[in-house]
Amino acid sequence: LFSLFERHGSSDYIGEPMSITEHSVQTANAALKAGETDMAVLACLLHDVGHLCGLEAGHAPGMGGCGTPDHERIGADFLGALGLPQDIAYLCHHHVGAKRYLCATVPGYEERLSEASSVTLQHQGGPMSPAEVAAADADPRWPLVLRMRRYDEAGK
């Protein structure tokens, strides 16, 4: 995990004016300042590790040049394989879903996305369907996923 950050963390956070490491630290810092648990802060720090895995594998950025496609699943699988707590892998896996959820449920949210986030949204399935929203709302961990998205936004 540390070697991934050493080798690729200084790479541009694709489509945003910072490195992947800077974005990750800023996201975790926002969660820390909000009083989140250590687990949630660590999940925020590691939520985009799938982009690093893509760079490690030598994949050119996809999604219109804005990152590793399916990075949330790749990252969650990687973190799970390392033996990190399932909650951390879960939050990593669902952070893209939070963006899709907010685009579907919050008027004007999609229009406020950064250019890079707008591009990736289209590659990530667009706003959630009503059935997907209902499934997310039924998940007791969903409020934390949504807070994590807000910290993700603060880290850009």
Query: What domains, with CATH codes, occur in the chain?
Result: 2-154 (1.10.3210.10)
Average the pLDDT over 79-87 and give the result.
96
User: What pLDDT, on the 0 to 100 scale, is given for residue 5?
Assistant: 87
pTM of the entire predicted model: 0.86
Average the pLDDT over 137-152 and give the result.
96
Where do the H-state alpha helices sit in 9-129? 20-33, 38-46, 49-56, 71-81, 86-105, 115-123
Beta carbons of 59 and 73 less than 8 angstroms apart: no
